[in-house]
A and B are shown apart, each in its own frame.
Chain A
């Protein structure tokens, strides 16, 4: 794995790059990446995985240009320019999925395909969501995971003082992007018909932060998209079931590119 700082619009972005194959931009979720992400390693067997920390998250600088998910989407279109990447596969987790949707409605010409995993971005009225910010840490872990992998995951964040700081930093950065309206752009659903690239939606069956009804709603809004619901997984399914996550992504991409 290569770790490098890439300057985009005056902001130094921490970029992980690993594997060989077609370029795949992985946009992380509210919890960020902590350096031990077996789901990414599994993806790197098939793709040239490009996984930045969003501005304000992880080891990336904060950017004055990025106040919300829409800004971040435009920022990533700039990042693709900076990397001289014409077209990429995009995988978006949670908030990263929301950013991918905002990018795709702006310019789907940069996409080869799109995979949304437990994606934020739209609001389904009347479908209650749990709140990741108000709950206690114990309850948060229960929301993020269906399996007992939560304690290990949290332990990795507590491994060093730097990672502890990054954990807090990610929470603040996630709040900045998604506090209100919580985890969505209420007008985004109006424009999802513009997404004209192959799209696959992967959801944890036990996700209470963004319940599986959202997977169906996204499928209905994005023409030709497909859905896979994963039993025994919640919001961080790429951590709970890394191989299954990578398989969902790589099989879908193989299918649509062959």
Chain B
């Protein structure tokens, strides 16, 4: 025990070099302390991570290994280990399936549409809020717009239904005025607009908070110096505010890119009946219905696995790209 304490004291204090985990000048120290000593020293630390690691192994890693059924004609009765192997058959079926292709197309359409019409909204709103001078007004509005982020999708869609549905508040007003009630909650042609406005209503506040946090790190002296040098408010925004937001914008773009194959599963699942399967089918809902509903397990797992692999490649690729352009990205190279 005393040896362990001494060794720890001999180690450079970890807090003195934050983020320097990759460059610990540890080798001589490690050689001096045996594995057993280190284990004894750090036993309690290891025990503390154990419950979380166990949960991840059981509920994340074993299912990951369960993806082997993508190469099987899986049946729940024969199980993971005894179902017949079919090679790449399931993958071939996925690729030649027009419904899957349709689901991929829908997914990408929604992603691109939301990237154009949803992604800039929190940025603009954050700039707007940032220009509000009264701290009290600013925090109240922030608190209000952030609230729906904590609502469930069921609640959000029910709220939309009560406002914009055929029997909702706005339809009531229209009907009272002798007009036709709204049909946007069930109309496939305005569906992209509908789900994007739902996403904005629910999550734009979350984005605002992140961007405002980024803006709060800007030294006010920069604005003052720029103003003294004759820069107007728009030029200050262009040259100070926007550059301060850039790393966060890039970070969120990367995360969005990695997520581009998963669009609002619950949101679409919940509105499938109202709007129709053809328009709302995305990769995730397709996988769910093929597997859990129709029992084509191997096929559904193959489709899901491909999505997972492509998403992983997308996020790693985007991160690489960010590094190439000299940005921090999601994680640092170490």
- Whether chains A and B associate is no
Name A residues whose Cβ lies closer than 8 Å to a Cβ of B.
none
Name B residues whose Cβ lies closer than 8 Å to a Cβ of A.
none
